[in-house]
């Protein structure tokens, strides 16, 4: 365990994320381990297995096109290479079950300079953790209807067989959708579902001072949807936000309501979040070598305020 991990270990998730170790709102989290594989030095995506209990998948945001399997305490379980794939800027990872089959979705959607005319998803049956293994994935290329966008947050809406992408740098963030039935031979155009102004928004002073302070706390860095489709979480540099959805409701409508603030904190390395299999907790990790792994309990959260907007 590194020195930084030893410092973080006794702290709750929100305390570890906050430089001053201040308590967070309704936070019930615990340090559960460290990502022991030193190759995982920029964990940009995290997903809980839908095949194996206590197995999580992790990706780096650059380097080899590899999926890393870990257990619920961060211990390495193996690596799986994606054949014929490129890690240009992998920014999130989703796990889901469709028609009784388990899948992973890798989101190569990072675009800091907003220069990519198209971005890519890799869709594959969830593999078994292995010491060394190679597998193939189906490519889904898409572009945004309103020009290139940087994004780091993706989740799968199983009910509608689509990926949901939440942009990072727009104010407010914008939610898009992409069909998972897309062909490798056809470039899709994502559907713009709408702005998500229910997340905490920056003040004019926040925006003006962000570059100087290197603090873009309002920006979304990860998202996930629970396996039963009842709730979604969004991670920003400032905290964790939980959205509830009624049966049959579209996610853009559910995300217009004020979310439950599960944890409030600020950390420039907050990067990855994933529901556990039962949907009553999430795992969170940071973008650094030997990153700490946290488990954040959601069982005590209240239903979201039905008021629309902030």
Q: What is the token pair recorded at 223?
A: 């998202």
pTM score: 0.88
The predicted structure's pLDDT at residue 282: 97
60 sits in which H/E element: strand 55-60
Dihedral angle sign, alpha carbons of residues 164, 272, 196, 242: positive
The predicted structure's pLDDT at residue 29: 66
Question: What DSSP character marks residue 259?
Answer: P
The predicted structure's pLDDT at residue 150: 98
Q: In what order do the strands lie in the sheet with 281-286?
A: 29-34, 292-297, 281-286, 270-275
- What does pLDDT average to in each consecutive run of 10 residues of the chain (310 residues)? 38 39 49 95 96 95 96 96 96 96 97 96 93 87 98 98 98 98 87 98 96 94 97 96 96 98 86 95 94 90 36
Nearest CA to 82 out of 23, 141, 123 is that of 123
Which domains does the chain show, CATH number per domain? Answer: 12-297 (2.120.10)
The predicted structure's pLDDT at residue 301: 62
Please, what's the b/e burial string for 251-286 (b: 16 or more CB within 10 A of its CB; e: otherwise)? bbebbbbbbbbbbbbbbebbbbbbbbbebebbbbbb
The predicted structure's pLDDT at residue 302: 53
């Amino acid at each position: 365990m590194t020195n930084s991990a030893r410092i973080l270990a006794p702290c709750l998730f929100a305390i570890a994320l906050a430089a001053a170790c201040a308590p967070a709102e309704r936070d019930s989290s615990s340090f559960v381990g460290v990502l022991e594989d030193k190759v995982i030095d920029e964990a940009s995506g995290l997903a809980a297995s839908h095949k194996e209990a206590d197995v999580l998948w992790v990706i780096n945001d650059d380097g080899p096109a590899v999926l890393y399997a870990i257990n619920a305490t961060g211990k390495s379980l193996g690596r799986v290479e994606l054949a014929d794939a490129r890690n240009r800027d992998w920014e999130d990872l989703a796990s889901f079950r469709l028609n009784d089959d388990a899948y992973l979705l890798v989101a190569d959607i990072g675009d800091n300079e907003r220069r990519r005319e198209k971005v890519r998803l890799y869709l594959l049956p969830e593999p078994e953790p292995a010491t060394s293994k190679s597998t193939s994935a189906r490519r889904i290329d898409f572009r945004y209807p309103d020009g290139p966008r940087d994004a780091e947050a993706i989740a799968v809406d199983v009910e509608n067989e689509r990926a949901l992408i939440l942009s990072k740098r727009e104010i407010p963030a914008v939610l898009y959708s992409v069909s998972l039935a897309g062909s490798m031979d056809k470039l899709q155009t994502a559907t713009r579902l709408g702005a998500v102004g229910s997340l905490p928004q920056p003040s004019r002073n926040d925006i003006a001072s962000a570059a100087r302070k290197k603090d873009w706390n309002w920006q979304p860095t990860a998202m996930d949807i629970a396996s039963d489709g009842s709730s979604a979480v969004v991670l920003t540099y400032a905290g964790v936000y939980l959205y509830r959805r009624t049966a049959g409701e579209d996610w853009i409508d559910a995300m217009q309501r004020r979310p439950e603030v599960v944890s409030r904190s600020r950390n420039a390395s907050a990067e990855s979040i994933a529901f556990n299999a039962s949907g009553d907790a999430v795992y969170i990790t940071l973008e650094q070598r030997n990153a700490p792994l946290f488990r954040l309990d959601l069982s005590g959260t209240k239903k979201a305020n039905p008021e629309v907007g902030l």
